[in-house]
Amino acid sequence: MLRNVRELYQYRVLLLSLTQRELKARYRASVLGFLWTFLNPTLLMLAYVLVFGIFMKAQMRHYVFFLFVGLLPWVFFSTSLSSGASAISDRRDLLTKVRFPAQVLPATVVATNLINYLLSLPLMFVLGAILGEWPTWHAVVFPAILTLQILFTLALSYMISALNVVFRDLQYIVANLLTLWFFVTPILYATSTIPEAFRKVLVLSNPMAILITSYQAIFYYHQLPRILPLALVTAVSLGLLWLSAWIFERRREEFAELV
Amino acid sequence: MDAIIIRNATKRFRKNVIPRTHSTLKSEFVKWLRGQKRPASESWIEALRGVDLTIPQGKTVGIIGRNGAGKSTLLKLITGIYAPSSGTVVVNGKVSALLELGAGFHPDFSGRENILINSIILGRSRSEVRARMSEIIEFSELGDFIEQPVRTYSSGMYTRLAFSVATHVDPDILIIDEILAVGDEHFFRKSRAKMEEFKRAGKTIVLVTHGLSTVEEWCEQAAWIDDGKIRQVGNPREVVSEYVRTVALAEQQQALPSPPTGPVTQGTDPSPVSSGALPSPLLDSRIRIEGVRFINGGGQEAVSIDTEGSLDICIDYVAPKPFGDLGFQVSVMKAGGIEVFTTDTFLDSVLSPQSLPATGTVKLRMMRIGLIEGTYFVEVVARSQRGEAYGRPPGRYSFQVHSSIRDRGVTRPPHQWSVEPRRGPS
């Protein structure tokens, strides 16, 4: 794992350039260009607000803001995973022609989506300000939660992208699982709406639920997140990262032949 | 110091990788995770089987071989894209490889942006690339196109960009896979000059090519790969001529109907034949052709002759009792069975059989070959005037004509161009 991280560091310039390229490429030919970074989550959020806030009349203070707090990190996570799945298997052009540290590829996807997430944050704060939800001092733990999410996302992306080289079905499985995962994660609803009996199990067994509720804690409820579940996520992420690095290490030499 | 040391390297590919790449079975998945070996019954393709090759630093090495011999796989091992299945590959120095056109070029980005990304992939830092950017652009001769997305480029422009990037990242070892042929004459010369510069700077160049004259003229060492193994390494001229001979032999054996022989019974063949040579058909015991040799203008045996040079085709025969009605016929053929030239001693009425020494050499001198570059086969037969064959030499013979002039066709007759004024109707 250390070797993996070291290599990633060695190739940080490449990672940076590729990320830059991805960001530029994403909306290159489109008229609105970079605005899509903001428009995408806004439109998605508007749809949810319409259904859950207006049609179903969610009984929550500033439901729009609540949605935003959970939805943005989720979009970061799910896009990283769904486009990260084919990060290696789609780059035949690179892998078979140049010696290339494959771990840069999923890392690039995660980095690109991270930047998109960070860029959409001002939108959230502006919305909060309009509604009167000013960030409190609790927001200082935000970088810690974000770091955890990056670790977790990176670990999963590594693993899925490596496995997807051999089992291409995985990218479709992942896309479908993400939809289910979205609904079992308290993004559209508060944890308090989950029946008491399942609440603990549902939240604690789902690292994304822990992360999302932590975001909600600092931005929406203005309190500190609970430490123990976050420690659990840390352990899970590090474990996953180690496992992914192990898979990578074992199989990276086959990537060029299999893609 | 050696730049590249390859020891007993093999590379195998799973055969089922080609028709059905991706299995979704869980058991396969678990096996893959654990890195378990597949059952031995599974078929493998051995692209390289035990390659030993040492490339000294600062040498220019040409790798030749037929399609599918393993040249590209070898290059991918050297560049580290593939890992050897067994054996070791040690590379001392930074490698820049030009294996295929536009490796990693993003079609939507401009040439300039792609130069940046590609150079970084090849191990440069941003500032280094920025510093050399104008030099690279200038070398590529893309001009204003450098700001256009590379998807709009022609293949020639692609080549130029790729070559410019690969040669401007200061590699210690440059690996090039015959794509240079895509460029036009002008860029070809320019890239040659660039590589010449590399040579002078003491860098190692590994070149895979089908251009044998390139290897002969330009490389200091040649390695011939055949069927995943190194067949011969050494002096380019020697390796190339041996290669040409072998390929010509194989081609001719394919092109000609196999000689009428009895049913082949393995193991009980009464006349075991040394490999490579065909049995000498003994048609008449009175004469036997022992072999054919080619002598160049310098009086040395050669299989590679310049268009303008002379060639002696020497037929060594043994005829214990010379007899009348004996002549020799020589045919020069091109691949595909095209007859270039056939003559015999009857037509030229040169031989009086009675005066033949019992053991001798019949020599046909072509004062000037005048053939265009390529491989030519020679067929020799001792025959009667009516055409009954008495004897043929064992094996097949071929020679290679090389020329710095790239004209097409078959022959290059002595010629001259001139311009004269003409008095036309007023």
Residues B167 and B175: their CA atoms lie apart, in Å, by 10
Taking an 8 Å cut-off on Cβ atoms, the answer to whether A166 and B82 are in contact is no
- In this prediction, residue B41 carries a pLDDT of 46
On the 0-12 / 13-18 / 19+ scale of CB atoms within 10 A, B9 is buried
Chain A nearest CA to B99, separation (Å): 6
Residues B251 and B63: their CA atoms lie apart, in Å, by 20
- In this prediction, residue B27 carries a pLDDT of 59
Token reading at B259: 């000689």
Select the residue of B32, B79, B108 nearest A166 (Cβ to Cβ). B32
- In this prediction, residue B179 carries a pLDDT of 56
Interface probe with B: pick from A163, A170, A257, most Cβ of B within 10 Å: A257
Question: What is the chain B residue with the closest CA to A89?
Answer: B22
CA distances (Å), A230 to each of A81, A148, A207, A217, in order? 21, 8, 8, 12
Residues A104 and A101: their CA atoms lie apart, in Å, by 6
Query: Which residues of chain B are within 8 Å of residue A86 when distances are taken between CB atoms?
Result: none
Residues B402 and B407: their CA atoms lie apart, in Å, by 11
Residue with the two structure tokens 């390859």: B6
Taking an 8 Å cut-off on Cβ atoms, the answer to whether B79 and A98 are in contact is yes
Question: What is the chain B residue with the closest CA to A102?
Answer: B81
Q: Which residues neighbour B348 within 8 Å (Cβ) at sequence distance 6 or greater?
A: none
Task: Please give the angle made by the CA atoms of B12, B18 and B19, to the nearest 5 degrees.
Answer: 145
Residues B197 and B163: their CA atoms lie apart, in Å, by 14
On the 0-12 / 13-18 / 19+ scale of CB atoms within 10 A, B161 is buried
Taking an 8 Å cut-off on Cβ atoms, the answer to whether B125 and A13 are in contact is yes
Q: Each residue of B307-363: pLDDT tens digit?
A: 888 899 999 988 877 777 888 889 888 766 678 888 888 887 777 666 778 888 888
Residues B122 and A101: their CA atoms lie apart, in Å, by 11
Count of A-B CB contacts under 8 Å: 81
C-alpha A26, offset from chain centre = 17
Task: Please give the angle made by the CA atoms of A207, A213 and A218, to the nearest 5 degrees.
Answer: 130
Question: CB atoms < 10 A from the CB of B135, how many?
Answer: 11
CB B373 within 8 A of CB B406: yes
B23 touches chain A (CB under 8 A): yes
Taking an 8 Å cut-off on Cβ atoms, the answer to whether B121 and A166 are in contact is no
Query: Which residues of chain A are within 8 Å of residue B102 when distances are taken between CB atoms?
Result: 93
Nearest CA among A177, A189, A156, A190 for reference residue A80: A156
Query: Which residues of chain A are within 8 Å of residue B122 when distances are taken between CB atoms?
Result: 98
Q: What is the CA radius of gyration of chain B?
A: 28
Token reading at B327: 């002549």
Query: Which residues of chain B are within 8 Å of residue A167 when distances are taken between CB atoms?
Result: 22-24, 29
Q: Kind and range of the H or E element at A129?
A: helix A104-131
In chain A, which among 22-81 make CB contacts under 8 A with chain B? 24-25, 28-29
CB A123 within 8 A of CB A35: no
Residues B204 and B195: their CA atoms lie apart, in Å, by 10
- In this prediction, residue A76 carries a pLDDT of 94
**Sign of the CA dihedral with B283 first, then B289, B290, and B291 last:** negative
Q: What is the pLDDT along chain A (259 residues), one digit of tens a residue?
A: 677 777 777 778 888 888 888 887 777 667 777 777 778 778 888 888 888 888 887 778 888 889 889 999 999 999 999 999 988 888 877 787 777 778 888 999 999 999 989 988 888 888 889 888 888 888 899 999 999 999 999 999 999 998 888 888 888 999 999 999 999 999 988 888 888 888 888 888 999 999 999 999 999 999 999 889 999 999 999 999 999 888 888 877 778 777 7
CA distances (Å), B283 to each of B280, B343, B379, B382, B385, in order? 9, 21, 16, 10, 16
Question: CB atoms < 10 A from the CB of A133, how many?
Answer: 21
Nearest CA among A18, A29, A109, A105 for reference residue B114: A18
By DSSP bridging, strand B173-177 and strand B204-208 are parallel
- In this prediction, residue A114 carries a pLDDT of 94
Please state the three-class secondary structure of chain B as a single string.
Answer: CEEEEEEEEEEEEEHHHCCCCCCCCHHHHHHHHHCCCCCCCCCEEEEEEEEEEEEECCCEEEEECCCCCCHHHHHHHHHCCCCCCEEEEEECCCEEEECCCCCCCCCCCEHHHHHHHHHHHCCCCHHHHHHHHHHHHHHHCCHHHHHCEHHHCCHHHHHHHHHHHHHCCCCCEEEEECHHHHCCHHHHHHHHHHHHHHHHCCCEEEEECCCHHHHHHHCCEEEEEECCEEEEEECHHHHHHHHHHHHHHHHHHHHCCCCCCCCCCCCCCCCCCCCCCCCCCECCCCCEEEEEEEEECCCCECCEEECCCCEEEEEEEECCCCCCCCEEEEEEEECCCEEEEEEECCCCCCCCHHHCCCEEEEEEEECCCCECCEEEEEEEEEECCCCCEEECCCCCEEEEEECCCCCCCCECCCCCCCCCCCCCCC
Select the residue of B83, B113, B120 nearest A13 (Cβ to Cβ). B120
Query: What is chain B's length?
Result: 426
C-alpha A4, offset from chain centre = 21
CB B59 within 8 A of CB B221: yes
A196 touches chain B (CB under 8 A): no
Residues B214 and B207: their CA atoms lie apart, in Å, by 10
- In this prediction, residue B181 carries a pLDDT of 56
Token reading at B96: 């820049």
Chain B nearest CA to A37, separation (Å): 19
Chain B nearest CA to A248, separation (Å): 10
CB B417 within 8 A of CB B322: no
B1 touches chain A (CB under 8 A): no
Token reading at A13: 């310039």
Taking an 8 Å cut-off on Cβ atoms, the answer to whether A99 and B29 are in contact is no
Packed helices A207-219 and A142-166: angle between N→C axes, nearest 10 degrees: 150
Q: Each residue of B264-317: pLDDT tens digit?
A: 333 333 333 333 334 444 556 778 888 898 988 888 888 788 888 889 999 998
Interface probe with B: pick from A98, A159, A250, A257, most Cβ of B within 10 Å: A98
Select the residue of A17, A18, A28 nearest B108 (Cβ to Cβ). A28
Taking an 8 Å cut-off on Cβ atoms, the answer to whether B32 and A251 are in contact is yes
ipTM of the modeled complex: 0.73
CA dihedral A96, A13, B175, B60 (to 10 degrees): -160
pTM exceeds 0.80 for this model: no
Residues B124 and B360: their CA atoms lie apart, in Å, by 67
Taking an 8 Å cut-off on Cβ atoms, the answer to whether B35 and A29 are in contact is no
Select the residue of A25, A100, A250 nearest B35 (Cβ to Cβ). A250
Residue ranges, chain B, pLDDT below 50 = 17-21, 39-41, 258-281
Classified as helix, coil or strand, A250 is: helix
Token reading at B121: 């992939």
Question: What single letter denotes the amino acid at residue A165?
Answer: V
Question: CB atoms < 10 A from the CB of B64, how many?
Answer: 28
- In this prediction, residue B288 carries a pLDDT of 84
Taking an 8 Å cut-off on Cβ atoms, the answer to whether B97 and A98 are in contact is yes
Q: Which residues neighbour B252 within 8 Å (Cβ) at sequence distance 6 or greater?
A: B377, B396, B398
Chain B nearest CA to A133, separation (Å): 42
**Sign of the CA dihedral with A94 first, then A96, A102, and A106 last:** positive
Nearest CA among A199, A107, A100 for reference residue A161: A107
DSSP secondary structure code for residue A100 in this structure: -
Query: Which residues of chain A are within 8 Å of residue B106 when distances are taken between CB atoms?
Result: 21, 25
Query: Which residues of chain A are within 8 Å of residue B22 when distances are taken between CB atoms?
Result: 166-169
For residue B418, the number of C-alpha atoms closer than 13 Å in the C-beta half-sphere is 5
CB B59 within 8 A of CB B204: yes
